[in-house]
Structure 1
Amino acid sequence: MISTIAAFALLQATPEAQAVEAFEVQGFRSQIMVEIDAPRAEVFDAATGDVSPWWDHTFWPGPAELVIEPEVGGLFYERFEAGEPDGVVHARVIFVRAPEQLRLDGPLGLSGRAVQLVSSWTLEEGENPEQTRFTVDLAITGEVDEELAGIVRRVWVHFIDGRLKPYMEADCHLEPEAPCAAFEE
């Protein structure tokens, strides 16, 4: 017992132990709704599984895998190189009711920050079964300010409105291995 107390006292005396910086914990909510001209089940299938054809923000250039596993406890992960263990878990799937809802809990691109980001997806049929209303509800707390929360929102608008919507509406999901005409410059 004495040695544990002595070690703790020694740790408190070192400069490294005193280098502690406080941050303000804040929270923000945001909602994004995008109409996609494609059936809900097809949109859900394209928005999960291998998302590399349309998801364009990664930690590694040209990762071997970029996958959202649409099952409870599934992962949204990026594997850097095929057959290698290196990669990153962007989020965990904490709720799924295919093809209507999916909820991710994880830092996504904010890995390394004290942040909790819950992204809740709701996919509803539009005015006809060939349309989908894709809603993303974002709740972010932790080491985040209003500026960062705004960036997170803009990135999600980019993913759903700027990438998934044109990917679906150009029928690129029907041939995911082929280059998507919606993204050609």
Structure 2
Amino acid sequence: MKLLAAIGLIGLITISARAELTSHPVTGYTVTQSVTVPGSAEQTYDALTGEISGWWDHHFSEKPKSLRIEAWPGGKFVEEFDDQGNGALHATVILAQRPKLLRMDGPLGLTGRALDCVTTYELTSLGDSTTVKVTVQLDGQIDSEWANAVDGVWHHFLVEAFKPFVEKQSK
């Protein structure tokens, strides 16, 4: 009898501990932005990678210690908050072909959502300038409002932040 009571109690605990299930639509979007900047493809690739805090102005920490892209397979796009090991892993480099292409897999600023985000930088030389084309493929828990926000953020990064940064460096 005590065994049956214990089994019944476990059943009640199990029932009351069930998780709430919520469905999320799964969708996909591709965002593409491009900009042409002065300098060779090598110079441009180097400005897009390494320490990028001079132009990448979206981060989790108010003043990150470091914000860098390690441009080799398995390298990290990492934001270090401080010397205590706190920080954020924004993406992992999955393909690096200096000075032509860099591909990363990671949510960038979209943490906390169930999604896959692959970001590709393609560089094309145009005389003494280079065109940078960024393609962001988003699949998962993302709607058109968020996809439009991603498009606006990449416009900001390339046109309003990266291009002036490179132009200033080339003078």
Structure 2 CA distance for partners of 1:85 and 1:146, relative to 1, 3 Å: same
Question: Is 1:32 aligned to residue 30 of structure 2?
Answer: no
- Post-superposition shift, 1:18? 3.1
The two structures have a TM-score, normalised by structure 1, of: 0.83
Q: Which amino acid aligns with 1:114?
A: A
Q: Which amino acid aligns with 2:91?
A: A
Query: Where do residues 10-49 of structure 1 align in structure 2 (5 Å cutoff)?
Result: 12-15=14-17, 17-49=18-50
SS for the counterpart of 1:61 is coil
Q: Tell me how far apart the structure 2 counterparts of residues 158 and 50 of structure 1 sit (CA, whole Å).
A: 18
Residues 23-43 of structure 1 deviation map (CA, whole Å, 9 limit, x = unaligned): 000001121111112221111
Q: Tell me how far apart the structure 2 counterparts of residues 11 and 98 of structure 1 sit (CA, whole Å).
A: 57
Residues 107, 117 of structure 2: 8 Å contact kept: yes
Structure 2 CA distance for partners of 1:10 and 1:111, relative to 1, 3 Å: farther
Q: Which consecutive unaligned segments of at least 5 residues does structure 2 have?
A: 1-7
Mark the structure with the bigger radius of gyration: 2
Residues 142-180 of structure 1 deviation map (CA, whole Å, 9 limit, x = unaligned): 1100110111111111111111111001117x8xxxxxx
Q: Tell me how far apart the structure 2 counterparts of residues 168 and 141 of structure 1 sit (CA, whole Å).
A: 31
Partner of 1:137 in structure 2?
135
- RMSD, aligned α-carbons: 2.1
Which of structure 1's runs of 4+ aligned residues deviate more than 6 A?
none
Partner of 1:95 in structure 2?
95
Residues 46-92 of structure 1 deviation map (CA, whole Å, 9 limit, x = unaligned): 110000111000000011010100000000011111x2111110000
- Post-superposition shift, 1:10? 6.2
Percent identity of equivalent pairs: 34
Q: Which consecutive unaligned segments of at least 5 residues does structure 1 have?
A: 1-5, 175-185
